Structure 1
Amino acid sequence: MLEFFSASEMSVPRALLLLLIVAVLLLVLCVWSIKRHRNPYLVVKSDEPLDALLPSVCGLTHGTLCEGNRVDVFENGAFFEMMFDEIAAARRSVHFETFLWKEGALGQRLVEALVARSRAGVQVRVLVDARGGHKMGKSARQQLVDGGCSFQYYHPMKLANIGVFNERDHRKLVVIDGRVALVGGHCIVDSWLGNAEDRNHFRDIGARLRGPVVHAIQSTFSENWVEVTGELLVGDAVFPPLQPEGEVGVHVARVKPEGSAPAVKILHHLMLCLARERIYIQNPYFLPEAEAVKALGQAVARGVDVRVMVPSVDASDMPFVQRAAHRNFEALLESGVRVFEYTRTLLHQKVMTVDGVWCAIGSSNFDDRSFEINDEVTIGLRDATLARHFEAIFERDAQDCVELKLDRWRRRPWRHKVLDHVLYSFNELL
C-alpha cells in the first residue's frame, strides 16, 4: 500500500535543508571576514629619496632597520658549498627550514652533515613543508630522527590542518649558532647544483648574513617552529649577543597580520612607488595584480627605468605559471616596462634592486600565492655596493635572454592569449 507524505511532513526536511544552507553561508562569511584585508593603495606622495624613506619602509613592513651587518652573495651551487662549511662549523645549534626537498645526492649530503653535527652535541632542528617535502624520501627523514635531529613537517595533510593546508611554508633559511643566517631561493634538489650550465642545473642566488639582523632571521624560524612544536627557543645557543660585523643596514619582511596586508606584499609594492631612477626585478613567477601592473607603468611615466626578468616557458619548471604570467605582459610592455625572458635554464632567484641604493633577496615570488598565502621571508639591504652587484648580475643574465617587443607580442596567436587568461584565473592554485 502506497503512503504519501502530507505537506506539513515534507516541510520539515525542507526547513532543515534551508537551515543548513544558511549555516554554511554564515560559515563562509565568517571565514571571509577573518581572512579579508584591504590591499595597499599604491600611491605614495613623497619626493624624498628612497634612502631617506627606509625607516618608513621598515615600519610599514612591521620591522626595523638593523645596522652593522655583513652580507655575502653566493650564486648557484657555490651557495651549498658555503652552507656545508657553515653547518660543519656549528657548535651549539643548527636551524634549517625549507619548502622543496627531493631525494637525491644533495639531500643525502645534507642529511649526513646535519646528523654529524647532532652526534657532536649540536642541537639540530629541521622544518620542511609537508607538500614541498613529500618526495624527500622516508630514508632521509628516518636518518635525521635516528641521528638525534628534531624533524617536523609544516602543515602535514591531516584533519586538524584542513583549514590551513593551502598555507605553505615557502621560506628557505638556515641559522647557525644564532650568529650566521643564510637566506635565498635555493631548494634541496639536485637541479640546484652546478653553475646553471644547462637546463638540468638551475640559476639561483643566496646570501649569508652576520651581525645583529641574525636575531630577526632566527625569530623567523622560531615563528613556524613554535607553531608546529610549541617549543620556545631561548638562550645564547639560539639568541646570543651579537656585535656589528659590517656596514650593511638590513630589514626583514615576513609578518602576515590578520586584517592587514602581509609585509612581503607591502614591501614589494611600496618599492614600485618610491623608485625614482631604476627598478630591476628578477623573479621566476612574476604575476603582479592589476594595481602593481599600474604602479610599474606609473614608475616608467615618472622616468624610472623598469626592467623585469623571468624564465622562458621552455626553461621554467612550471610552464603553466609562466603562461599565466603572459597575461600581463602586453600591459607592461605598453607602459614601457622592459621584459626579458631567460632561456638558458630556470631562473629562480627572487631579487629586486631600486635606485642603486637598496636591494632585496629572499624566498618570495612576485605573485599573490607568495604575497597572500605562503609564509615567506624577504630581506631588504641598504647598501650601494650590493645593489650595484645585483644590477651587474641582472645585466650579465640579460645576455642569455630574449627581450620581448610589443609589436611582436601583440601578434601572438589567439589560442595563446586565451590560454594565458584562463591560467591566470587559477594562478594562486598553480
Structure 2
Amino acid sequence: MINWVQENWFLASLIGNYLVATGAAFFLIRNNQNPHKTLSSLLFLVALPFVGLAIYYFFGLEYRKQKIFKRKDLNSHEHVTKWNKRLMNDEEELGKYETTFLEDRLKMVKLLRHNERAPLTLRNDLKLLYNGENAFEAIFEALDQAKDHIHLEYFIFNDDNIGNKFIDHLIAARKRDVNVKLIYDSVGSDLSNAAKRRMTDAGILHYPFMPVLFSRFTRKANYRDHRKIVIVDGHIGFLGGINVSDDYVNTPDRDPKDYWRDTHLRIEGHAVKSLQAQWLLNWFFVCDDQYSKDADEEIEGSFFPEIDEKKNKPVQIAASGPDTDWSNIMEAIFTGINSADTRIRITTPYFIPNEAILTAIKSAARSGVEVELMVPRIGDSWAARYASRSYFEEIMECGIKIFWYCKGMLHSKTMVVDGMFATIGTCNIDYRSFDINFEINALVFDKEFAQELNDKFDEDKKECEQIDLEEWKERSLTYKFKESFCKLWAPLL
C-alpha cells in the first residue's frame, strides 16, 4: 500500500482530496445555508481539487463561525441592554414622530428595534464629508479636541503617510491623558511592528480583530471587521467608507486615474451612544475581556455622557455581522427599497445583490419608481467587476438606470429613498457585506440630509457614463462568459 502511494502520489492525493471534499459537501448541505452559496461551494469542491477545499475553508465553513463567535454573545448582556434601553422610544412616542419626522418610514424604525433593539435617536447634528482629504481633516480636528477618550475601529489602518499622521494625533491625545483604544482588522490592515511599538509606548491600547497567519495571502478571509468608526468623548462620532490609508486621500500630485471618491459622516449627538455600544461589543471581544463591575461606573459615566444637542436629525444606527441573528442592514435596505414611492438612488463600489435585494429593486422599477444605480467603471477587483456586470442586463430591462463613474474609484456606500430617507455607512450591496463581514450604517430620516446626498449624486453624474441597454446587449460572448463565470463566485466574493 505504501509503495503504491509513493508510486502514485498524485492519484492518492486526489483520492484523499475528494474523500475530504465529500465530508465537506455533507456538512454544506446539512447546514441549510443559502442555496446559491451552497451550490457555489459544491462546484469548487468538485471542479477544483485542493484549491476547492481551500476556498471552502475560507468562505464556506459555517461551523467556524459558530465556534468563533460563541464567546461574543454579548448583545443580550444586561449592560448593553441597559445602554440601549436608555435611548429607546416607546411605541406611543414613536407614534407622535410618525407625522412630523418619519411619515411612512416608521416600519423601518420598528424593524431594527425588534431585530437588535437599535434605538431611534432624535437629537443629532450631521455633516457629510466627501473624500478622504476632507474626512481626515474633520477627524483630526475632533481628535485634537478630545478630553476623555478616543475609540477607533477600522478595517484598514495602514502606517503610510496618512496613517502615521493619524497615529501622531493619537499620541498627542495620550500626552493630554486622553484614553485611546484601537481595533484594527488583522487582514485588512498593514501596521508595522514599529508603528505598533509607537502606539504601545505612548499608552495606546490596540488589538487586531481575529488575527490570522499570512494575512497578505488571505485578503478575503471570512468574518472581517469592515467597520470604520471613530468616537470622541462619547458625543462625536464618524462612520462611512473611508479607511486609514493613502489610497483614500486625493493629493494634488496624484495620478487622476487613481482618484478616490468616497463619503463619510460626522455625527454629534445621541446616535453616538449607539456607535459606542457597538464599539464596546467588539472591544471586549478582541481583548478577550468581560464587563466588570469596576468598569461599570466608567462606562456609564464617561462613555455615555449627557448630551444637550439642539439639532433634531433622527438617526438610527444599524449594525450587522456573523454574530447577529438577522441581516440587519440588508433588511433595512430591503425595507427602504420596498417603501419607495418615487425614486431610489444607490451608490456602491460592489453590486452583487442577493435575491431579496435584486427582486426588491426590480419590482420597484417595474412599479414606476425611478431607480438609479452608480458603480465604478473599473473598480479594484476583477472578479467583483464582472460578477456585478452580470446583473446589468436584467435590471436595465426593468427600467433601472446604471451610471458608470469614470473619474476614478467610486467607494461611497449610500442610498437615498424619495428624498426623505438615506443610509450611509460601510455596507456594500453584496453577499459579503450582508452575511459575512461586520458592518455598520447610519439610517437618517431627514429631508435636508437626503437632499444633500441627492445633490451630490447629481454632481457625480457629471463624471459618469450612462450604460445603454441596446449597446450593452451587443457585448461579446467572451465578455458574457467572464460575467457568467464570476457570477458563480458571487456568494463567495
Band of TM-score, shorter chain: 0.7 to 0.9
Aligned pair count? 395
Q: What is the letter of the counterpart of residue 160 of structure 2?
A: G
Shift of 1:318: 1.9
Distance 2:414 2:182 in 1: 26
- What does 1:142-221 correspond to in 2, within 5 Å? 142-157=197-212, 166-194=222-250, 198-221=256-279
Q: Distance in 1 between matches of 2:324 and 2:229?
A: 27
- 1:67–1:247: 8 Å Cα contact kept in structure 2? yes
Per-residue Cα deviation, 1:171-224 (whole angstroms, up to 9, x for no partner):
001000111110111011112113798222311111111111111001111111
Correspondence for 1:322 among 385, 390, 399: 385
**Residue in structure 2 matched with residue 129 of structure 1 by the alignment:** 185
Amino acid at match of 1:155: M
Shift of 1:325: 0.2
Give the Cα–Cα distance (whole angstroms) in 1 for the partners of residues 349 and 278 of structure 2.
23
Note the aligned Cα RMSD (angstroms): 2.7
Change (3 A) 1:350 1:397: same
Deviation per CA, 1:349-406: give whole Å up to 9, x if none: 1010001111010000110100000000011001100000000100100010010111
Q: Could you tell me how far 1:166 is from its partner in structure 2?
A: 1.3
- 2:443 pairs with one of 370, 380, 385: 380
8 Å CA contact 1:61–1:253 kept in 2: the answer is no
| Correspondence 1:31-180 to 2 at 5 A | 50-62=104-116, 63-76=118-131, 77-133=133-189, 135-157=190-212, 166-180=222-236
Distance, in Å, in 2 between the alignment partners of 1:116 and 1:276 is 50
2:109 and 2:316 in contact (8 A); partners too:
no
Q: Which runs of 5+ in 1 are unaligned?
A: 1-18, 37-47
Q: Which residue of 1 aligns with 2:375?
A: 310
CA contact (8 A) 2:108 2:332 kept: no
1:267 is matched with which residue: 303, 310, 332? Answer: 332
Distance (whole Å) between structure 1 residues aligned to residue 334 and residue 383 of structure 2: 24
1:25 Cα deviation after fit = 7.2
Query: Aligned to 2:123, what secondary structure does the other structure show?
Result: strand
Checking the alignment, whether the CA contact within 8 Å between 2:262 and 2:412 is kept in structure 1 is yes
Change in CA separation of 1:277 and 1:179 when aligned onto 2, cut-off 3 Å: same
Question: Partners in 2 of 1:108 and 1:119 — Cα distance?
Answer: 16
Q: Which amino acid aligns with 1:58?
A: L
Which has the larger displacement, 249-258 or 143-152?
Answer: 249-258
Q: Distance in 2 between matches of 1:203 and 1:213?
A: 25
Is 2:319 the partner of 1:254? yes
Q: CA deviation at 1:413?
A: 0.7
Q: CA deviation at 1:49?
A: 5.6
**1:349 to 1:20, Cα distance in 2 relative to 1, 3 A:** closer
Which residue pairs with 1:7 in the alignment?
none
**Deviation string, structure 1 residues 215-245 (Cα, Å, up to 9, x no partner):** 1001111111111112546242212122334
* 2:457 pairs with one of 375, 380, 394: 394
Percent pairwise identity: 25
In 1, distance between residues paired with 2:129 and 2:380?
22
**Counterpart of 2:481?**
418
Residue 403 of structure 2 corresponds to 340
Q: Which one-letter code corresponds to 1:64 in the other structure?
A: P
TM-score normalised by L of structure 1: 0.85
* Distance apart, 1:108 and its partner CA: 0.6
Q: Is the 8 A contact 2:155 2:184 kept in 1?
A: yes
The 1:21–1:143 alpha-carbon spacing in structure 2 relative to 1, beyond 3 Å, is closer
Query: 357-366 vs 290-299, which deviates more?
Result: 290-299
TM-score, length-scaled by structure 2: 0.75
Q: CA deviation at 1:428?
A: 4.4
Cα deviation for residue 20 of structure 1 reads 9.6
Mapped contact 1:49–1:276 kept (Cα < 8 A): no
| CA deviations over 1:66-95 (Å, ceiling 9, x no partner) | 111111111111110000000011111001
SS of 2:237's partner is strand
Aligned partners of 2:21, 2:140: CA distance in 1, in Å? 56
Greater helix share, structure number: 2
Structure 2 counterpart of 1:352: 415
Which runs of 5 or more residues in structure 2 are unaligned? 1-18, 34-61, 66-101
| Alpha carbons 1:300, 1:337 under 8 Å: kept | yes
1:103, 1:402 → 2: CA distance? 36
Aligned to 1:3: none
Q: Within 2, Cα distance between the matches of 1:318 and 1:181?
A: 30
* Deviation readout 1:143-188 (Å, 9 max, x if unpaired): 11111100100010169xx9x9610000001000111110111011
Aligned to 1:248, the other structure's residue is in SS state: coil
Higher mean C-alpha deviation, range 261-270 or range 169-178: 261-270
Residues 136 and 245 (structure 1 numbering): CA distance in 2 closer, same or farther, change over 3 Å?
A: farther
Q: Secondary structure at the match of 2:429?
A: coil
Q: In structure 2, how many angstroms separate the alpha carbons of the residues matched to 1:23 and 1:67?
A: 52
